[in-house]
Structure formats: structure tokens, C-alpha cells
Amino acid sequence: MVRSVLLSFCFLGFAACARGEFYKLEDDIVGPRFLSAFDFQDIADPTHGRVRYVNKFDALWKNLTYVDENSFILRTDYTNTLDPNGPGRDSVRVMSKKTYSTVTTVFDVRHMPQGCGTWPAIWTTTTGKWPDGGEVDIMEGVNDQWSNQATLHTGPGCTMPPYRLQTGMSNGDNCDVYATYNAGCSVGFQNPLSYGPQFNRNGGGWYAMERTPFYVKVWFWTREDIFVPHDVKHGGSHINTGSWGIPAAYFPNTSCNFDKFFSDHNIIINLTLCGDWAGNDDVYSNSGCPSTCVDHVNNNPSAFADAYFDIASLRIYC
């Protein structure tokens, strides 16, 4: 009896996995495990942000990264005034040691960086020459914008169909970074609780991204959403994305050859300040932010006290 249940369970798991939708927990990253699952990258910010990414030792020593049993904190410095001719504000960029292709990642996020000049991101990409191999942005925004946006970035030849089954709104269907000034094909979420101060006041929520050879889907549920799937909320050992409902963002492969445009990806969590997007003069001033982005970062350390991620868990299903 037990044996036949087990057998049929395995069979189901296998048959379903090939189809996508059914996945098994592969990495359960909570608290201190973030420090072993991710590398710290003290690199120059490729998007010209007013930050200095520090190494692991400095991140822990300066308490820019902090872990306890059930949280992972990643933040910028919020105590030092900066020399305008010196390096940017200390911040942290971490990249997963493992790479993934067909995968579902579930992030339980309690707090995301907020404030003028902030540009936080949870995303996946390759270590190869960008944009070859593609980029998937799961959670991203600047200057406390109205809601989250999820985006694909590729080389030329990847577009999205104009009508898609998603709750978000497409901002453009061409994912080619060369044709879109690096913007790619983004989808703006309809729920303002998906980003910034509103997200934080509400205790955050869950972000999930499923990538298969056929599509990429991104979901978001607020902390109090009564429709958050049980397997998401409770970090189940098995998940069924087929029961998660319509995603906020849906990127099918109908006019984009995923095999060609997307290779194995690392997961990256980064927090930059200003830079090409957040610090763009129009974008920054249209957000109602004070002075210029770089001056704000240099002179107002305390404005960055809430510029931190508090991540309860990252569960990776294959």
C-alpha cells in the first residue's frame, strides 16, 4: 500500500515535471543559508550607480548584511556623509552560486529598499556578455515608484504578443535591449502594494517566478492576500504552479526562442542608488525627489535608513 502510493507519487512527480507546473523543493534558503548560497560581488556598478559594492567581510563587519535564524538583511550604509569626489555609498550585491534554467523561485520578502534614489532589484541573468543569455527581472523599481515591474531583456529577435493572459500592463513588447534603450519588455503590476513604502507598510509579500522552455511567469501576493496559494505561503516541499492563477506578468515563447535567448541564470539581489535609471534627471525629478540624485545620496545618509531588504526565505523548486 505505502509502496504503491510512493510509486505513483514519484511517477506523477516525474511526468508533471517534464510539463512544468509541478516542482520539488531543491534549495531552501533561510537566514544564515543566504551567506553560503550567494557570493558577494564587490564590482563596479555597471549601471553607474552612486554606490560602492563591498565584499562579504565588509558587508558583515559594517552590518550592511545581517542574518539571524529567519531573516536576511541587505542594506546600504545610512550613517556616513560622502565626499562628492570619493566613492559612492556602501551597498551590497549578491549572486547565487548555483545556476538554474527550468525553475520556480519563491521569495518571501518582508521589506524592500525604499526612498528617493533607491533602485533595488531581484533578478536573474548569466555571467556571460549581457544581453546574451538574457535577463529576467522579478522585482524592480526606482524612487518608490507606484508598483513593481517585471521585465525580460534580450538581444534582437525576441518579442511578446500584444495580448497575454496576465493581470499587469505591458509597457512594450520588444525585449531587445538595443531597440529599447536597454528597457526590454516590461510589465507594470496593477497592485500598488507590490512596491516601495506601501509594500513595506503592508508587511511585504511573496514574489514567485517560474521559468520553463515555454514561458516566464511572475506572480505577486501581498502578505494578507487570501488567495496566496498554500504551497507558497507555507513553503511546501512540492508546488503546483498550475494552481496559482493568472500571473502578474506572462512572457510566452510564441515569438521568442527561449533556447536561443536564455541560458542558465544566476539569481542576483542588488541595491544600487541613482545610476542610469533611478538617477536619470527626468525620472528622478518626476518622482518628486529633492535636489539631484547624487547630491541627495552624498549628503543625506539618514534618508537611507529604510533602504534595506528583509528577506524571510528564498525557496527554489526544480
Ligand X SMILES: *[C@@H]1O[C@H](CO)[C@@H](O)[C@H](O)[C@H]1NC(C)=O
Residues at the contact surface with ligand X, assessed by CB under 6 A: 45-47, 63, 66, 73, 93, 121, 123, 137, 140, 213-214, 253-254, 257, 270, 272
User: Is 26 annotated as catalytic?
Assistant: no
Return the number of the residue (72 or 219) whose C-beta is nearest ligand X.
72
Considering the complex, what minimum distance in angstroms separates the CB of residue 10 from ligand X? 24
Please state the closest distance from residue 145 (CB atom) to ligand X, in A.
Answer: 13
- Record the cell numbers describing residue 171, joined without a space: 509597457
By beta-carbon proximity to ligand X, the closer residue of 28 and 276 is 276
Work out the burial of residue 267: count CB atoms within 10 Å of its CB; fewer than 13 is exposed, 13-18 middle, 19 or more buried.
buried
User: Which lies closer to ligand X via its Cβ, residue 25 or residue 212?
Assistant: 212
Q: Which CB sits closer to ligand X, 40 or 228?
A: 40
User: Could you tell me the smallest distance in angstroms from the CB atom of residue 5 to ligand X?
Assistant: 32
CB of 38 to ligand X, least distance (A): 13
- Active-site hit among 26, 140, 210, 224: 140
Choose, from 21, 135, 210, 224, the residue flagged as catalytic. 135
Q: What are the Cα distances from residue 76, in Å, to 90, 99, 264, 302, 304?
A: 6, 26, 29, 11, 7
Query: C-beta of 45: minimal distance to ligand X in Å?
Result: 4
Task: Name the residue nearer to ligand X (CB basis): 123 or 195.
Answer: 123
135 is catalytic: yes
**Catalytic residue positions, numbered:** 135, 140
